[in-house]
Amino acid sequence: MPKLGLGVYQITDEFACRNTVESALDIGYRLIDTAQAYHNEKFVGDAIKQSNIPREELFITTKLWLADTGYKSTIKAFENSLKKLGLDYLDLYLIHQPIGNYYGSWKAMEELYASGKIKAIGVCNFLPDRLVDLILSHNIIPAVNQIELHLLCQQQELLKLMKKYDIKPMAWAPFIEGKEKIFENPLLISLAKKYNKTTAQIILKWLRQNNIISIPKSTNYTHLQENIQLNNFTLTAEELDTLTQLDKKHSIILDLHDINEVYRLHNIKFIQ
């Protein structure tokens, strides 16, 4: 699995999505992360087809929305996603939220994995209690947990638990969606000047050196190029430690401990 990929959350315009994915693939991205709830699986699939890149070189991820959790619903939703993407199999299929009948979904995903239609299965946004419960109640341990993980919410305790079970962390919104004036952070600016890089590249390098997969989103061609150019510099141990001090130890974007957030997620409905 590539250490860095392209996320396409909120890229719902057909031209913008297809152009962004085509550009990313042309630049060298091989991991593309979409979801049933993003309303753009078909656009991603069209871009993949247009690229003519051999299927085995790509790593394609999509996700099951909570309205379709449950055994039978999961199988149907999976087949719909596969059809929209125009693929014969998925590299990684994820349960999008730890809400709903995800037990039934996991059973279906275990069977789809055994059949070869999915190369790996995992979850998103599973915090320690739900993650351990899922692990202890089923045969297959999630390969990946895609979580809110960035400099201001570093999820240290969750990462320790995931390491115990060999679950790979994948960071969504590594730039915090631009919140908290993250690109104006003085420490990041000073490191960017030192290494002649952007503040975004410093953030992604911090994730890379902590063995965290990241899926930054951008529709800007220059930013797509910059985000993947991380191999010609290395942050020192002291710099990594200093960046760790930025952790606020709580969610900035999605707090699943907040009951209002659970209500909001349950109210998101869409037609396949």
In this predicted model, what pLDDT tens digit does every residue of 135-171 receive, in sequence order? 999 999 999 999 999 999 999 999 999 999 999 999 9
- The 10s digit of each residue's pLDDT in 241-253 is 999 999 999 999 9
Per-residue confidence (pLDDT) for residue 269, from 0 to 100:
76
- Taking the C-alpha atoms of residue 174 and residue 164, their distance in angstroms, rounded to an integer, is 23
Per-residue confidence (pLDDT) for residue 206, from 0 to 100:
98
- Taking the C-alpha atoms of residue 215 and residue 144, their distance in angstroms, rounded to an integer, is 13
* Segment 62-77 mean pLDDT: 97
The answer, yes or no, to whether residue 238 has pLDDT greater than 80, is yes
Q: How far is CA 189 from the centre of its chain?
A: 26
- The 10s digit of each residue's pLDDT in 91-145 is 999 999 999 999 999 999 999 999 999 999 999 999 999 999 999 999 999 999 9
* Segment 47-59 mean pLDDT: 96
Per-residue confidence (pLDDT) for residue 271, from 0 to 100:
56
Provide the percentage of residues in the chain whose pLDDT is more than 70: 99
Sequence-separated (6 or more) residues with CB below 8 Å from residue 149: 155, 169, 171, 172, 174, 207, 212
Q: Among residues 82, 76, 61, which one has the least CA distance to residue 8? A: 61
- The 10s digit of each residue's pLDDT in 162-204 is 999 999 999 999 999 999 999 999 999 999 999 999 999 999 9
> In this structure, are residues 223 and 200 in contact, taking their beta carbons and an 8 Å threshold?
yes
In order, the DSSP letters of the chain are --SB-EE-TT--SHHHHHHHHHHHHHHT--EEE--GGGT-HHHHHHHHHHHT--GGG-EEEEEE-GGG-SHHHHHHHHHHHHHHHT-S-BSEEEE-SS-SSHHHHHHHHHHHHHHTSBS-EEEES--HHHHHHHHHHSSS--SEEEEE-BTTB--HHHHHHHHHTTPEEEEESTTGGGGGGGGG-HHHHHHHHHHT--HHHHHHHHHHHTT-EE------HHHHHHHH--TT----HHHHHHHHTT--SS-SS--TTSHHHHHHHHT-----
What pTM did the predictor assign? 0.96
Q: What's the pLDDT band for 268 if we cut at 50, 70, 90?
A: confident
Q: What's the pLDDT band for 11 if we cut at 50, 70, 90?
A: very high
Given the residues 9, 29, 38, 102, the one annotated as active site? 38
89 assigned to active site: no
Per-residue confidence (pLDDT) for residue 270, from 0 to 100:
66
